[in-house]
Chains A and B, each alone.
Chain A
């Protein structure tokens, strides 16, 4: 198992779909908070130190384990952590803010004695069991049908894994909300905000949801590097809060896909306007050094990359003592 290729590596492009569920909770319409002309606002660089000090990200591995008949049993390992940057060279995980989880992904309701035995044994050794088809628990037929779709089951497993990861991240965000640092330091979260959370910036790299349409979309796609769009407001149906959102262009996209180097920035909106120019300047400063080892570097800030490397090691260590794939 340890040496298997994880689903994430095999089915990489599906990562892009992760944003879908969370953003369903947002309204579709936006409300502009700033003047729309000029649309591409240059971001002035700021002298002085940045207040961005914390970074949050998560990582997951879904590993094929066993199979019984045509039913795969997979394992999920996830990790999420907060990284504190005390100085340009001193980056440490914040103690107590590392969430690790390993679970079996088993469709429990499959009427298979072997699966049942597996589940029972796993339960006795106190390892978590998650059913990737849990959302079909009430639809017996759909559940049965899904069992016959091997590839589909894998995808469900990956989603389940993702959920587990996000769970970890959310727990950390809540811990942050509960006790944010008194010096006003900001946290950058790799992903869209799901709940209101203070002193936090969400950075979204992928483009599943297009908030800006029409002629402004054209201007968005032409935005040069080092510029931002005006801020707009998006409401959160679930929690009743709203977010101030804008786009930042990290790198020049001339001759490339218009979404190249384009990042969406989100901040919880309360009553005050967030310091959009300051935040933009700080975020743009995080472009250096470039995480050139990672193909996603145009929209990946270095500390998040750093944190990812750490988390990957944790995951690798988690699975190190797991047995390799075996077949009878």
Chain B
């Protein structure tokens, strides 16, 4: 063509191009459910273009299973884009609502149907989770192009969750249900027990190193109380962590505080009753796990296992702590404490796991601010306390009152008013205050010194798979606060000294807004903030729960790598804490049913909904009824001899007996004798742990010996 004119390029064949998405679709065929087929098409408009974080697609009319929370796959030119479905909107070409009114404003009945219905399309918003480029080394953020949308397969979901890149053990936290059918190994659609098509389920995995540190850490649950979702899920997640960590040879333990009734004191009892207890469970009001729960556990790949290595620590009932009288030292090892501990787990044969907490004055001398009110604690008092603690070497209330009386007598004799620089009035005030401590911390504090002997302590280092419950449900608030603060402090120090005893420790604190309120102060709050900030490097993580997220200290929440949301009330959802959630998600949260949670995790670009099965342990109230004989349950519940069996199993050796053997041998022994054998055996086994003596005796041989002795003694009963 000559210049000055339009260049004509007449190669019309270029005008008919093939679809640019054939290549990525073929490459990523394993990520899309082609069996189910195309579920919709990506749309982008001027006003709502597709971006790297969000895109839209309209769904085919027959896609009735497609819903919010499902995970779908769209494509950009060279990548598969995986995202989670959020806001749905139905569009029609109706310009305004009035048009529809006028449409019907003819002499026709309001409900007469027009021969043509306006077409409506259902457009879904999708939040991108991850993009997978054809090239392994490219990370693409390019938005999707118009093209087909499919349901994501399990591989796609795993990819979207970043499982490939996990540096730690993958921990299943929730179960995601997609809109496409589940396919079994033969490639057939799975039908559930009701004859319906089962939907594809895949676990939502959390990276252990982002849940338990060191990359990120801590988990937080928000949700309305009374639905028992937070604790149930926390227990489920703890069980998942325990199992996965065990599989990978890592040690882990958990510390919990029981603040209500028997909630957390039966964690060693399975949710699946043994055959002889099925009736008892039902009578206690717990129908056990359902078919869906069993399937869920199977899908997630977890066993239904209670926490075998459960230890419960409780202070004494008010006024029943040992001490007083001559005793300058309370030797807990030789005390018969079980009847006097402040816990609901009191059945003989079940209480071998319950250990005492008893304090002498000594630790309190190091935390006078915890013990005294602000008004009482002036410089003079501080000085006096320091004097007694550091210079006089006082460690018990008895010693303190003796000393004070001595000093006062001295002053009376000499007529003086000062001793070691401290005024008599201060000393008298101290005496008065300290005398009140036993009732202020009733059940926890004793007059003398305390020797635990071989008994385990609530603040000692942990053993693998141990679940340690501090039962403060029935204590007064002074004792509660003191124990929570001091144990957490101690645990934190152990962590700093690298002396935890396990690779990872989980500390579960419920009612976090009580212990670390927004804008609050105090040493416990400071410790919790410290743990939140540094814990993941020191292998301690906080699992915190509260009803109102907005009322918890922001620093703690900010350091939390994983957050779970259950049903939230409308007063709460308007808070800034929920700002980053879409309107649809917030609306979901307002009406979220039991057993469902929203999870945000470091690896997830968008929050995800999932379900979880009931935890693998019997609920506290039911456990109390079945195992503590609270109600008139006629079935013989547990054979006290089972405590001996459990003990023998805890220290496995060549001669570990069967349950039947133990029951036979111990048949007829009184429960007190059995309890005594348990205590003696356990104390002994613990004292020889790690020494050469441990090889010379087994728990079972000790138990057998004890049974013989006990029978011998029982003939002298009257």
A and B, direct touch (CB closer than 8 Å): yes
Residues of A within 8 A of B (CB): 45, 50, 52, 66-68, 85, 88-89, 91, 114, 117-118, 121-122, 125, 127, 226, 282, 285-293, 302-303, 306, 321-323, 326-328
Given A121-B8, A286-B116, 20 additional A-B pairs, CB 8 A: A45-B107, A68-B6, A88-B114, A88-B116, A89-B117, A125-B13, A226-B106, A288-B106, A288-B115, A289-B114, A289-B117, A289-B118, A292-B93, A292-B94, A292-B95, A302-B118, A306-B119, A321-B15, A326-B9, A327-B7
CA distance A290 to B95 in the complex (A): 10
Residue in B closest to A2 when the chains form the complex, CB atoms:
B15
A289: chain B residues at CB < 8 Å are 94, 100, 103, 114, 116-118
* A125-B7 contact, Cβ under 8 Å, with A285-B114, A287-B106, A289-B118: no
Task: List residues 504-541 of chain B with CB under 8 A from any CB of chain A.
Answer: none
Check A303 against B116 for contact (C-beta < 8 Å).
yes
B111 in contact (CB, < 8 A): no
A-B contact pairs, 6 of them (CB 8 A): A45-B108, A91-B119, A289-B116, A289-B117, A292-B93, A328-B1
Produce 1/0 per residue, B1-35, CB < 8 A to A: 11111111111111111000000000000000000
State in angstroms the CA–CA spacing of A282 and B118 once bound together.
18
With contacts A45-B108, A88-B115, A286-B116 known, is A118 near B8, CB below 8 A? yes
Cα A125 to Cα B171 with chains together (Å): 62
Shortest Cβ gap from B216 to chain A (Å): 47
Shortest Cβ distance from A93 into chain B, in angstroms? 14
B116:A85 contact, CB within 8 angstroms: yes
Q: Do the beta carbons of A293 and B95 come within 8 Å of each other?
A: yes
> What residues on A are CB-neighbors of B100 within 8 Å?
289
**Given that A288-B103, A321-B16 are known contacts, is A293 also in contact with B115, CB under 8 Å in the complex?**
no
Tell me the complex Cα distance, A292–B3, Å.
49
Q: Are A328 and B106 CB-contacts (below 8 A) given A50-B115, A292-B94, A306-B116? A: no
Whether the pair B3, A328 counts as a contact (CB closer than 8 A) is yes
The 10 A-B residue pairs with the shortest CB-CB distance, nearest first, are A288-B114, A88-B117, A321-B15, A66-B6, A328-B7, A121-B10, A302-B116, A289-B118, A89-B117, A292-B99
Q: Looking across the interface, which residue of chain A has its beta carbon closest to that of B109?
A: A45
Residue from the list B6, B10, B14, B95 in contact with A321, Cβ < 8 A: B14
Q: Give the residues in chain A near B413, CB-CB below 8 Å.
A: none
Tell me whether B102 is interfacial, beta carbon within 8 Å.
yes
User: Once bound together, how far apart are the Cα atoms of A77 and B95, in whole Å?
Assistant: 29
Point out residues on B near A: beta carbons under 8 Å: 1-17, 61, 93-95, 99-100, 102-104, 106-108, 113-119
- Complex contacts, A326 vs chain B, CB 8 Å: 6-7, 9
Complex CA gap A287/B509 in Å reads: 66
> Shortest Cβ distance from A98 into chain B, in angstroms?
17
Q: What separation, in Å, do the CA atoms of A170 and B119 have in the docked complex?
A: 28
Return the chain B residue nearest A87 by Cβ.
B117
Is the pair B7, A88 in contact by a Cβ cutoff of 8 Å? no
Query: Given that A285-B114, A293-B95 are known contacts, is A322 also in contact with B15, CB under 8 Å in the complex?
Result: yes
Enumerate chain A residues within 8 angstroms of B104, measured Cβ to Cβ.
288
Cβ–Cβ contact A85 & B115, under 8 A: yes
Q: How far is the CB of A304 from chain B (nearest CB, A)?
A: 10
Q: Give every chain A residue within 8 A of B95 (Cβ-Cβ).
A: 292-293
Bound complex: CA A65 to CA B540 (Å):
72
Q: B567 CB to closest chain A CB, in angstroms?
A: 36
Could you tell me the distance between the alpha carbons of A167 and B99 in the complex, rounded to whole angstroms? Answer: 36
Residues of A within 8 A of B3 (CB): 328
Q: Which residues of A contact B8 (CB under 8 A)?
A: 66, 118, 121
Per the bound structure, the CA–CA distance linking A3 and B428 in Å amounts to: 97
Give the distance to chain A from B19, nearest Cβ to Cβ, in Å: 12
- Would you call A68 and B102 a contact (CB within 8 A)? no
Residues from chain B with Cβ under 8 Å of A321 in the complex? 14-17
Residues in A neighbouring B9, C-beta threshold 8 A? 323, 326
Q: Given A290-B103, A321-B15, verify A91-B1 contact (CB < 8 Å).
A: no
A85-B116, A125-B10 given; A328·B5 CB < 8 A: yes
Closest to B100 in A: A289
Give A41 Cβ to nearest chain B Cβ, in Å: 16
**What residues of chain A lie closer than 8 Å to B93, measured between beta carbons?**
291-293
Cα A148 to Cα B11 with chains together (Å): 29
Contacts of B116 in A (CB 8 A): 85, 88, 91, 286, 289, 302-303, 306
Beta-carbon contact of B1 and A122 below 8 Å: no
